[in-house]
Amino acid sequence: MLFTSYGFFGFLLILFLLYYTIPRRFQWVLLLLGSYLFYCISGPTNLVYILCTTLTTWYAARRIAANQQRQKAYLREHKEDLSREEKKSYREGQKKIRRRWVAGCLLLNLAVLGVVKYTGFVIANLNGILHAFGGTVELTWASIALPMGISFYTFMAIGYLIDVYRETVPAEQNPFRFALFVSFFPQLVQGPIGRYGDLAPGLLGEHPFDAHTVTRGLQRMLWGYFKKMVVADRVLTAVTTIIGDTTAYSGAYILFGMVLYTVELYADFTGGIDITIGIAEALGIPMAENFHRPYFSKSLKEYWRRWHITMCSWFRDYLFYPVSTSKWMLKITKAARSRLGERVGKRIPVYLCSFTVWLATGVWHGASWNFIVWGLANWVVLMLSEELEPLYAKFHARFPGLDNRNLPYKIFAVGRTFLLICVLNLFDITSSIGETFRALVSIFTAGNWPVLWDGSLLELGLTGLDYGIAGVACIIMLAVSLVQRRGSVRDKIYAKPYPVRFVLWYGLFLIVLLMGAYGIGYDASQFIYNRF
């Protein structure tokens, strides 16, 4: 069910009405039923996967928590009887048991994710290798449709399991309550990747009707629909046309296409998350923010602190830290320091850990070499930036005016980062790595710059009016982001007299209604991040 479909609006309306009329203690039950209905509509067979993840994670977490309780009780009971060594040995024994539960559950869920998402990719590569060595055997695989949101809910479940293991959250006793955390419908489409500790109190709590809260949620949703329907879905046609034929549309078209795609991706993804958070807010459920004006970043490193925040923090907490503090990584660090010296040696684990994270990030985004190379390209740029840090420092020392306190330099840094993101994003949309590089090279070799102003862009499926609407909408998005730096825009609007507020929000509603790319003549498109 698309967020932009009439069916979804009907579903939401009924859900909201019921949510605020039934006894509050049943609100979470309604959300669970609604979430499963929403999920069922996306494909009833998909329920098998989400149920498998829910039940295995819930059970494993309970066993881990039970083991922790047992351990505490045993140690309390035998506080005086056991020596320090015996206590340590007992603790380690119990920890091993808990680790087995974590490992088993992780393996099972990642295996499910791996099979449905990556088997086709692996088989295709195996066939390629076999053919390269003269093999004639063709391995086949019945492709499985990717269950909606599997990458998101699997990561959420894994995060919960590790949190329980780390004793940062208690294990949920009720499987149905845990099922709601995994399946809460707005986040199934494209995240954010919520944490149990943050999300569960809101999901499972009781929420009386509060007109102000509901209104704020609806306002956030409206802003999301503006980004999705007025910008993202409008420019989609031109992006698809260019990327669909990078031979015909090379050079300046590629530059235009990748900038347009970067705008589309922003409007699509942040718009979708605005809708998700807005729905949750209207239901009285706080949700983690996923963006912090990412295109205002002055470096790629900063960008990754501001873009898809919940994914990045997930990889940091559940992959980077465990890998960097693992025994084998400590051994590598020690060996590298002794053999390569202190300065170089201490960089080796940084490279290895961040390499692991960026490889995983690339793989998580999709089963293709494009995403893997995209992830590693990010890693290379980030590592290079770190290594060149002393050089930058020297430059800034030599030219003290040219730093981030200087507005023109700040604009230059933001523009440079934006362009870098555009280049990296090209890996997202082209069909192969070779095509990506050919397309990039063509920007410098095709020499067809006049297409940017001679009317050729009007043959990409968008009219001048479409470009005009998208352009004005982008200016509105930019203006809102600029204002946001000094606090919530909704709070600022709320402080205005009622007629001004009404005109602003009603105006935004009419813009979406009249200028949204929906209905006959437009292709309703799913959110880009839904396919991840």
Partner 1 sequence: MPTAEKRKTKGLVKFLVSAVIAIAGVLFLQQLLQPKYVDGVVEGAFVAEFYREENKDFDVIFIGDCEVYENFSPQVLWDEYGIHSYIRGSAEQYIMQSYYLLEDTLRYEKPDVVVFNIQSLQFNEAQSEAYNRMSIEGMEWSPAKVGAILSSMRPEEHFLDYVFPILRYHSRWSELASTDVEYLFKTKPVSFNGYYMRVDVRPAENVPTGRPLADYSFGDNAWSYLDKIVDLCAENDIQLLLIKAPSLYPYWYPQWEEQVDAYAAEHNLPYLNFLELQDEVGLDYNTDTYDAGLHMNLSGAEKLSHWLGAYLRENMGLQDRRGDPELDAIWDENRAAYQAEIAAQYERYGMKAD
Catalog residues that contact partner 1 under the rule CB under 8 A. Answer: 6, 211, 465, 498, 502, 506, 509-510, 513-516, 518-521
Minimum CB distance to partner 1 smaller for 135 or for 507: 507
Q: Residue 432 half-sphere exposure, CB side, CA atoms within 13 Å?
A: 4
Q: Which is nearer to partner 1, 321 or 502 (CB)?
A: 502
> At closest approach, how far in Å is the CB of 518 from partner 1?
8
Chain centroid to CA 468: 30
Cβ proximity to partner 1: between 4 and 27 the closer is: 4
CB of 243 to partner 1, least distance (A): 24
DSSP letter (8 states) at residue 116: H
Residue pair 279/221 in contact by the 8 Å Cβ criterion? yes
Q: Rg for the chain (alpha carbons), in Å?
A: 26
47-52 long-range contacts (CB < 8 A, ≥24 apart) are 49/112, 49/116, 49/147, 49/150, 50/147, 50/149, 50/150, 50/153, 50/182, 50/183, 52/108, 52/109, 52/112
What sign results for the dihedral spanned by CA atoms 316, 307, 215, 13? Answer: negative
CB nearer partner 1, residue 393 or residue 510: 510
Minimum distance from residue 458 beta carbon to partner 1 (Å) = 15
Tell me how far apart the alpha carbons of residues 518 and 525 are, in angstroms, rounded to a whole number. 9
Q: How far is the CB of 463 from partner 1 (least distance, A)?
A: 8
Nearer to partner 1, 211 or 407 (CB): 211
Nearer to partner 1, 459 or 523 (CB): 523
400 or 521, CB closer to partner 1?
Answer: 521
Chain-centre distance for alpha carbon 108: 22
Judged by beta carbon, residue 418 or residue 509, the one nearer partner 1 is: 509
CA distance 152 to 189: 8
Helix axes 464-484, 233-244, angle to 10 degrees: 120
Structure token digits, residue 453 = 């102003």
CB of 352 vs partner 1, minimal distance in Å: 52
Q: How far is the CB of 506 from partner 1 (least distance, A)?
A: 6
Q: Please, are residues 515 and 226 in contact by the beta-carbon 8 Å criterion? A: no
Shortest Å distance, C-beta 465 to partner 1: 5
Q: Which residues of 501-529 are buried (b: 16+ CB within 10 A; e: fewer)?
A: beeebeebeebbeebbbbeeeeeebebbb
CB of 376 to partner 1, least distance (A): 41
